[in-house]
Amino acid sequence: MNNELVLVIDFGGQYNQLIARRVREHNIYCEVISYKTPVAEIKAKNPKGIIFTGGPNSVYLDTSPRMPKEIFEIGVPILGICYGVHFLVYGLDGVIGKANENSAAEFGRTDCIFDTDCPIFEGLREKSVVWMSHNDYIEKLPEGFTAAGHSDKCPYAAIANNEKKFYGVQFHPEVNHTEQGKEILGNFLYKVCGCKGDWTMENYAKTAIAQIREKVGKGKVLLALSGGVDSSVACALLSKAVGDQLTCVFVDHGFMRKNEGDEVEAAFKDWNVNFIRVDASDRFIGKLEGVSDPETKRKTIGEEFIRVFEEEAKKIGKVDYLVQGTIYPDVIESGLGDAAVIKSHHNVGGLPDCVDFKEIIEPLRLLFKDEVRKLGTELGLADYLVWRQPFPGPGLAIRIIGEITREKLRILQDADYIFREEIANAGLDRSINQYFAVLTNMRSVGVMGDGRTYDYTLALRGVTTTDFMTADFARIPYEVLEKASVRIVNEVKNINRVVYDITSKPPATIEWE
């Protein structure tokens, strides 16, 4: 990859990924790296610019994240944001004061006046709203710096050293609440760093295809295809790159949504790709007989998935490369410490131990989710695959509470299908990030015709979220819920009651098991 590169140096702020996304939205490739990365390594990457992120610390504490002074000597433009500007000032021998001693702290919407002669504010309105979040403040500028913006409380809301091309802002240009944030970042990237903007999905696809061809040569490539966005896009990319050297194995565990197995198969029939659909539903249902504990279900499915995949891989013979759909947030987030295990996630990413191969190819590891989608569209993948909502590896097995039977599976598939159809009919399918039905293990009394019923309760779930780590329940209009509910009790046998889940995450999770 020989794109122009901007480095975001991570000082522990909450918006670091967002900064990287904002840079990429300007068509410039960007990586997030730790402040602990040696300066020589940073220099060797030959970045066009560097951005120091915010962070929760005070720069003058011994324990705070700092970099060696050499970072200021490699001749690359720097933009410091919040903690990043404090570090810039501190590192160049200016002074950072504690805000609570003279009440210079600012949080939230703040009016700011910019010096529009400063390159990062060129062409902007002089006064606009910015988003502040700081206790400490810049008390004394380092040599060579001047003020480039101020607010009521903050004389140095922005600072500049044009000669060295070092800039800093006390506020967060990356958040939407900062009115001209996009333009400020754009000015830094294009006017100060001299970027041209060569990061487009068209370029990415071309380069990735060339690189994969070079790496793979005449070798065989195996991909575990789930039909989810990431593995589908990886498949499209690999098939363009190496054609019939690629084999995709789609393990159909039988817990897909209604018609989904057939849809995935149909979608990949048109591609120049060896596609194997393994119908393993009997095998999976058999293994889950009598199992009602959620974690046991998850582990049993994950384990069996690996066994089936392993058997198929053996049939194909010696495989040189295995493809994984790792995406950029997984790369950044890995190794951040031990989070508590809430659920044992199963997805096709957990395969490498079981197959004898030479190397793993991760063609999406540089991309954010929205970029993966753009790439999918660029490669000509069908819209419904590109825009599929996330679907858990264990599928509907963890949306049937308690023991799974074929009958319950049928009920859930039919009900879930209706709910999804009604959401799409209402035009809500892209604004609600995930929506599905759950078959509870509870039955209750109802009346249908003139007779008593004693049937299952179905729960509907819809959430809005950006990262799926936290989520809010979706405010689906009552009319849409009503339509779905009426259709479900009328069209799906054995459901006589429908409820809507109005809990957010936390304290609930998105899935019920």
- Shortest Å distance, C-beta 365 to ligand XMP: 17
Question: Cβ closer to ligand XMP: 80 or 393?
Answer: 393
Vertex 345 angle, CA 513 and 488, to 5°: 40
- Shortest Å distance, C-beta 417 to ligand XMP: 17
- Shortest Å distance, C-beta 16 to ligand XMP: 21
What angle in degrees, to the nearest 10, is found between the helix axes of 478-491 and 406-425? 150
Interface pick for ligand XMP out of 346, 373, 374, 461 (rule CB under 6 A): 346
Interface pick for ligand XMP out of 394, 400, 411, 440 (rule CB under 6 A): 394
Question: Cβ closer to ligand XMP: 139 or 511?
Answer: 511
Question: Cβ closer to ligand XMP: 121 or 436?
Answer: 436
The secondary element (H helix, E strand) that includes residue 219 is none
Distance CA 251, CA 442 (A): 31
Question: Cβ closer to ligand XMP: 62 or 353?
Answer: 353
Which residues have a catalytic role annotated? 82, 172, 174
Interface pick for ligand XMP out of 110, 133, 434, 440 (rule CB under 6 A): 434
Question: Cβ closer to ligand XMP: 75 or 507?
Answer: 507
Question: Is residue 350 at the binding interface for ligand XMP, with CB under 6 A as the rule?
Answer: no
Distance from the first to the final alpha carbon of the chain: 41
- Shortest Å distance, C-beta 356 to ligand XMP: 25
CB 136 within 8 A of CB 156: no
Residue 116: closest CA among 158, 174, 54: 158
In three-state secondary structure terms, 8 is strand
Site for ligand XMP in 460-499 (CB under 6 A): 468
The secondary element (H helix, E strand) that includes residue 406 is helix 406-425
- Shortest Å distance, C-beta 9 to ligand XMP: 29
Calculate the dihedral angle through the C-alpha atoms of 116, 118, 119, 120, rounding to the nearest 10 degrees.
-80
Distance of CA 7 to the CA centre of its chain: 19
* Count of residues that bind ligand XMP according to CB under 6 A: 15
Interface pick for ligand XMP out of 47, 168, 393, 462 (rule CB under 6 A): 393
**Contacting range for ligand XMP; rule: CB under 6 A; set: 15-23, 189-197, 344-352, 490-498:** 344-352
What angle in degrees, to the nearest 10, is found between the helix axes of 229-242 and 369-378? 40
- Shortest Å distance, C-beta 510 to ligand XMP: 3
Interface pick for ligand XMP out of 45, 315, 345, 430 (rule CB under 6 A): 345
Beta bridge partners of 160: 146, 167
Interface pick for ligand XMP out of 80, 94, 168, 392 (rule CB under 6 A): 392
CB 160 within 8 A of CB 145: yes
Question: Is residue 390 at the binding interface for ligand XMP, with CB under 6 A as the rule?
Answer: yes
**Contacting range for ligand XMP; rule: CB under 6 A; set: 57-65, 320-328, 337-345, 363-371:** 337-345
Question: Is residue 197 at the binding interface for ligand XMP, with CB under 6 A as the rule?
Answer: no
Phi, psi of 112 (to 5 degrees): -135, 140
Helices (H), 259-340: 260-269, 281-287, 294-316, 328-333
Distance CA 110, CA 100 (A): 17
Distance CA 104, CA 114 (A): 18
Distance CA 175, CA 120 (A): 17
Residues that bind ligand XMP (CB under 6 A): 342-343, 345-347, 390, 392-394, 434, 468, 505, 509-511
